[in-house]
Chain A
Amino acid sequence: MTQPVLPTAQPSVSRRVVRALLAMASVLPAFPALANPQHPSAWQINLTRGDSGLSHDVWDLHMAVFWVCVCIGIVVYGVLVYSLFKFRKSKGAKPDTGFTHHTLLEVVWTTIPVLILIGLAYPASRLLVYENNTAGSQLTVKVTGVQWLWRYDYVDYLGQPIRHVGLISKLAEDSNEARQGVPGISPWNIKSKSGVRDYLLNVTEPLVVPTHTKIQFLITSVDVIHGFWVPALGWQADAIPGQIHDAWGEFDNPGTYRGQCAQLCGQDHAYMPIVIKAVPRSEFQQWLADRESKAHMDVISRTAQVVRASETQPQG
């Protein structure tokens, strides 16, 4: 009892309250940390910040409008809840039947929202114009939605056309078996090499792109409307038959970024994920060169087959 209490070992109550409040406050900024840009996390409650300047801008706009809504909500709900408790008949409140209109109030609560909206519209418009400008992109990829898979074709890179490099990306075999109820495979057991539980978010072959590169996506469809949505890019774009929808995105860090078809496209709509593997530029260049030479060899061998076939075939 008489021993002196060391302040460092036993902080005062007020200090502990402050610490608890700080800890609680730190949870709010921690929410984006919960959101992994590459794939969704359990109990995630907020949008991912994504992995590029563009997606960060989108996230900032999202948070700005969120906090504006919170502030308006505090004011409106504050007045409402105050009224609910203050102006109760059981508390002896008498109705002020004369308080039924107030022109100045009406003008004020029309004008203030307009000003707030202008404040939101300005950054939104700037970002929208920036986001829709695909000029200056260094890699062009054509994305084609098909019931129920994605086809990717590389169009050009650093101004050079790319020939015959494309790939078909469909739901990976383990997810496909699990979703069809093959015994012994549970959605919970499906994991990528790096340990990500990627049920329905893994594919046979991902789209490979370089980091730090403005990538133009030309998005279309051959059958019904699909939706190309990778949250890390910061946007989604509909794939519409008969139209080419251009959009652009970028990745700052290597990684495997996962998304899904967003537009209802028939019975297997839930089973056509999008996986983008971002790799350093040098690695991408190597990958592209390999694919190009393989495609070139394929063309040569196919031509040879055709020539041999026409030589042996009787004319007529």
Chain B
Amino acid sequence: MSTHAATHDDAQHDDVPKGFVHRWLFATNHKDIGTMYLVLALVMFFVGGTMAMVIRAELFEPGLQLVQPYFFNELTTLHGLVMIFGAIMPALVGLANWQIPLMIGAPDMALPRMNNLSFWIMPFAFLLMLSTLFMPGGAIAGGWVMYPPLILQTGESLAFTIFAIHLMGISSIMGSINIIATILNLRAPGVDLLKMPLFVWTWLITAFLLIAIMPVLAGAVTMLLTDKYFGTNFFNAAGGGDVLLYEHVFWFFGHPEVYVMILPAFGVISEVIPTFARKPLFGYKPMVYATASIAFLSFIVWAHHMFTVGLPVGAQLFFMYATMLIAVPTGVKVFNWVATMWKGSMTFETPMLFAVAFVILFTIGGFSGLMLGLVPADYQYHNSYFVVAHFHYVLVTGAAFGIMTGVYYWLPKWSGHMYSERWGKIHFWLSVISVNVLFFPQHFLGLAGMPRRIPDYNVAFADWNMVSSIGGFVFGATQLIFVGNIIYTVYFAKNQAPARVWEGAHGLEWEVPSPAPHHTFSTPPEIKPGMLAHGDIAH
């Protein structure tokens, strides 16, 4: 009986399910689901990017040329929601799906059917949200933060958007449960917690953050829904409610959310730099502790998004100190990356180029973050283009560059072929130059007094806006090279990638052939000395 079952299983395991519906719609394989997450993220990256192109085109010169102000607000709102929930987060979940089982020697995610559900919710959530663009009255236009009372002036698209956000939240929570269950239960014998790759660590911590915050967002938007449709007054001052309640609840979600987007990217960078420096990660344990500290601190700094609402001085002081404190563990991470490069033997393939750019440019976002943390200075920067510059440095040259680093780093493992190094480098150099032309002048605009979320502006802001828009168009076009390179690698490249794609790479994912077979580690691997990147060094 048991023998029969075993042979039956074996026969199934080497089979890739036939047919589109069986392979993808009924997917339970972590690699297939990871691929779908990454494809969805790439599609949404271009949907959100198209919106950004329209925004930058409208801002190319003063006066209204292309869109009406209300539609402009719809675009900025959806650009934010699509990029955060549609591009960055699914891309990171896609990396987690592919890599976590491979990195810890697990056969799959712990809960494969739930994994299928948490992916397949997402396309429908985004269809629902994007469909509001075509509804009477248009999509929501109150910014991705959806502050009442403004957001309650929206038409019926608010209900659709809130339902979409609920779906994304359910998906994120299920994904997080899956990641935590996988990491805590399915590690191969010998892969102790403190021997796990940093990418796995950062995702473990991120998953806990997500479980803590997504219900809070769900609560906030549900209160918006009942205020609009059921006559409650949570946020209606005239009915005894409090507008600031929404801001507090939203940012209790919103601040940890920004770390949800950056911590896994930290993890990717912490894998890539040691590989190309041919030297283990410097300060492995401090890196883990710094990640945990950032996660903890992220829960007690939310009100720095609200410094200009008129909080009591004591509260402003507390949130200022807590915010400044985040610079310490973040600094520890940057210093350890630099120390990993120190006395290394570096080569600069595309993933390493992106990783180095990540360290340099994310740090610029960190500097402007420190500036924003000082309340009296924030009173001037708040809601200006300085803030736009700040969060695009941490989210584009931070999170998005981190994801691109990961894609170039692991694509040969996934596809079995090497991407085009030449086009990878062209993609990198064009991206890194244009992204700075795009976002650096926005610091100047903000300091000069240009508020964010405006479609039209005084002529004094014209020059830097034009520079920024030109950078934006180049950056947007450059991403087509990225897509082209991925399509080339997956479908057309001839050169076979070796199992250990990179000379200096360590870890279990490099012990399986390239491309990684449909099923890996059906029996747990035997960990030999030197196999794990952090296995045999007493840190």
Shortest 4 CB-CB distances between A and B: which pairs? A242-B237, A270-B454, A235-B379, A245-B310
Contact B282 A243 (CB under 8 A): no
Min Cβ gap A17→B in Å is 29
Contacts of B69 in A (CB 8 A): 267-271
B interface, by DSSP: helix, strand, loop or mixed?
Answer: helix
Q: A238-B310, A242-B237 are in contact. Are A199 and B459 (CB under 8 A)?
A: yes
Which one of B64, B343, B382 contacts A181 once the chains associate, using CB atoms below 8 Å? B64
Q: A96-B343, A100-B539 are in contact. Are A264 and B73 (CB under 8 A)?
A: yes
The interface of chain B, by Cβ under 8 A from chain A, is: 62-64, 68-70, 73, 141-143, 147, 149-150, 153, 237-238, 241-244, 277-286, 308-310, 313, 316-317, 320-321, 324-325, 327-328, 331-332, 334-335, 338-339, 341-347, 356, 359-360, 363-364, 367-368, 370-371, 374-377, 379-380, 382-384, 443-444, 447-464, 504, 537, 539
Q: A100-B539, A197-B460, A264-B150 are in contact. Are A95 and B278 (CB under 8 A)?
A: yes
A233-274 residues with Cβ-Cβ distance < 8 A to B are: 234-238, 240-243, 245-247, 259-271
Q: A106-B286, A262-B384 are in contact. Are A69 and B371 (CB under 8 A)?
A: yes
Beta-carbon nearest neighbor of A90 in chain B:
B347
What 1/0 flags go to A159-201 for Cβ under 8 Å of B? 0000000000000000000111100001110000000011111
Contacts of B325 in A (CB 8 A): 117
Contact A62 B463 (CB under 8 A): no
Given A57-B376, A105-B339, 19 more contacts at CB 8 Å?
A: A46-B444, A47-B448, A77-B360, A80-B360, A87-B342, A95-B504, A101-B283, A128-B320, A181-B64, A188-B62, A224-B150, A229-B384, A264-B453, A266-B70, A266-B141, A267-B70, A269-B73, A270-B454, A270-B456
Min Cβ gap A180→B in Å is 8
Which one of B346, B363, B455 contacts A76 once the chains associate, using CB atoms below 8 Å? B363
Which one of B150, B279, B452, B460 contacts A265 once the chains associate, using CB atoms below 8 Å? B150
Contact B279 A225 (CB under 8 A): no
Q: In the complex, A264 Cα to B147 Cα: how many Å? A: 9
Contacts of A76 in B (CB 8 A): 334-335, 338, 363
Contacts of A41 in B (CB 8 A): 448, 460
Q: In the complex, A58 Cα to B307 Cα: how many Å? A: 15
Q: In the complex, A200 Cα to B458 Cα: how many Å? A: 6
Which size bracket describes the interface of A in this complex? 35 or more
Contacts of A237 in B (CB 8 A): 308, 310, 379
Q: Tell me how many residue pairs across A and B have CB atoms closer than 8 Å.
A: 311
Contact B448 A125 (CB under 8 A): no
Contacts of A308 in B (CB 8 A): none
Q: In the complex, A252 Cα to B324 Cα: how many Å? A: 33
Beta-carbon nearest neighbor of B151 in chain A:
A224
Which one of B142, B284, B347, B455 contacts A89 once the chains associate, using CB atoms below 8 Å? B347
- Enumerate 17 A-B pairs (CB-CB under 8 Å) in ascending A order: A65-B371, A69-B367, A84-B346, A87-B341, A93-B345, A95-B277, A121-B324, A128-B313, A128-B376, A199-B459, A224-B150, A225-B149, A241-B237, A243-B244, A260-B449, A262-B383, A263-B383
Q: In the complex, A198 Cα to B460 Cα: how many Å? A: 9
Contacts of A83 in B (CB 8 A): 338, 341-342, 344, 346
Contact B383 A93 (CB under 8 A): no
Q: In the complex, A117 Cα to B280 Cα: how many Å? A: 30
Contact B380 A58 (CB under 8 A): yes
Min Cβ gap B184→A in Å is 26
Min Cβ gap B420→A in Å is 21
In the assembled complex, A131 has its CB within 8 A of some CB on chain B: yes
Contacts of B364 in A (CB 8 A): 73
Contact B458 A40 (CB under 8 A): yes
Contact A80 B359 (CB under 8 A): yes
A57-87 residues with Cβ-Cβ distance < 8 A to B are: 57-58, 61-62, 65-66, 68-69, 72-73, 76-77, 79-80, 83-84, 87
In the assembled complex, A25 has its CB within 8 A of some CB on chain B: no
Which one of B70, B331, B451, B504 contacts A262 once the chains associate, using CB atoms below 8 Å? B451
Contact A95 B345 (CB under 8 A): yes
Contact A44 B444 (CB under 8 A): yes
Min Cβ gap A59→B in Å is 8
Contact B374 A114 (CB under 8 A): no
Q: In the complex, A40 Cα to B69 Cα: how many Å? A: 22
Q: In the complex, A200 Cα to B454 Cα: how many Å? A: 11
The interface of chain A, by Cβ under 8 A from chain B, is: 35, 39-48, 57-58, 61-62, 65-66, 68-69, 72-73, 76-77, 79-80, 83-84, 87-90, 93-97, 99-102, 105-106, 109-110, 113-114, 117, 120-121, 124-125, 127-129, 131-132, 178-181, 186-188, 197-201, 223-225, 227, 229, 231, 234-238, 240-243, 245-247, 259-271
Contacts of A223 in B (CB 8 A): 149
Contacts of A101 in B (CB 8 A): 282-286, 537, 539
Which one of A89, A188, A229 contacts B459 once the chains associate, using CB atoms below 8 Å? A188
Beta-carbon nearest neighbor of A57 in chain B:
B376
Contact A242 B242 (CB under 8 A): yes
Q: In the complex, A243 Cα to B241 Cα: how many Å? A: 11
Contact A44 B448 (CB under 8 A): yes
Contact A124 B320 (CB under 8 A): yes
Q: In the complex, A287 Cα to B295 Cα: how many Å? A: 56
Q: A95-B277, A266-B150 are in contact. Are A181 and B379 (CB under 8 A)?
A: no
Contact B453 A242 (CB under 8 A): no
Which one of B63, B73, B342, B374 contacts A186 once the chains associate, using CB atoms below 8 Å? B63
Q: In the complex, A179 Cα to B68 Cα: how many Å? A: 10
Min Cβ gap A73→B in Å is 7
Q: In the complex, A267 Cα to B444 Cα: how many Å? A: 25
Contact B383 A120 (CB under 8 A): no
Min Cβ gap A144→B in Å is 14
Q: In the complex, A178 Cα to B458 Cα: how many Å? A: 11
Contacts of A44 in B (CB 8 A): 444, 447-448, 460
Q: A121-B324, A263-B383 are in contact. Are A72 and B367 (CB under 8 A)?
A: yes
Q: In the complex, A99 Cα to B69 Cα: how many Å? A: 56
Which one of B341, B376, B537 contacts A127 once the chains associate, using CB atoms below 8 Å? B376
Which one of A69, A131, A198, A200 contacts B379 once the chains associate, using CB atoms below 8 Å? A131
Min Cβ gap A78→B in Å is 10
Beta-carbon nearest neighbor of B242 in chain A:
A242
Contacts of A87 in B (CB 8 A): 277, 341-346
